[in-house]
Structure 1
Amino acid sequence: MTFDPTTLRYDERGLIPAIAQDHASREVLMLAWMNAEAVARTIETGRVTYWSRSRGAFWVKGESSGHVQRLVELRLDCDRDCLLALVEQTGPACHTNRRSCFYTALRGGDEVEILQPEA
């Protein structure tokens, strides 16, 4: 069956959440948003493409930073309203220069940074 990105369940803004996960380590790297065109571009190019809500424009991960996400596999959840992009990550995924955007843990009621910025 050929995949059609318009069959996904997008929100009222035409967006769907996309979680990026390292394909080898299974570490969750980040969450961003895609629209149907970003999904299609990602599949076509193999470079993960998101929709920037703040800029109102497409955002190819790593285009300016060099911290590229190469798509290994794209998965759909059972409700077709969320995507999981298994990626090969080059450099940090987070704009704070950390490997993952999920670098703050709640431990005993305190926020603890568990990842430091990469050098």
Structure 2
Amino acid sequence: MIFHDTVTLATSVKVGEDAHGNDEYEWIEQTVPADVWPLNTDQKIGEGSLTVVQRYQVSMSKTANFDPDDPYLRITWQGRQFDVEGSIEAHMVRGRLHHYEAIGKLTG
């Protein structure tokens, strides 16, 4: 698969606890070959404000290294930080990892 762009994949790693017993995390960032394209946009009006939710399909190289159970996983593309909706899926071809796909969500 030929990727035409890159994304920054940020994963959180627990590095210890603070004086109050709260978990402390460090962010590990990596640049990953990817393709990104828009899926849809939702607009909601509530209590005098407009909320716009945009979703993008993110296809990433199999070289990405991340914890699929990381609830704080972030994807940044062109300076925009996405929340990962659901989980990142591994796509297999003939029993081998081919690439990863995720849905990125922007709320504004």
Q: TM-score, normalised by structure 1?
A: 0.29
Which structure shows the bigger proportion of residues in helix conformation?
1
As a proportion of its length, which structure holds more strand?
A: 2
Q: Tell me: higher relative CO, structure 1 or 2? Use CA pairs within 8 A at least 6 residues apart.
A: 2
Structure number with bigger Rg? 2
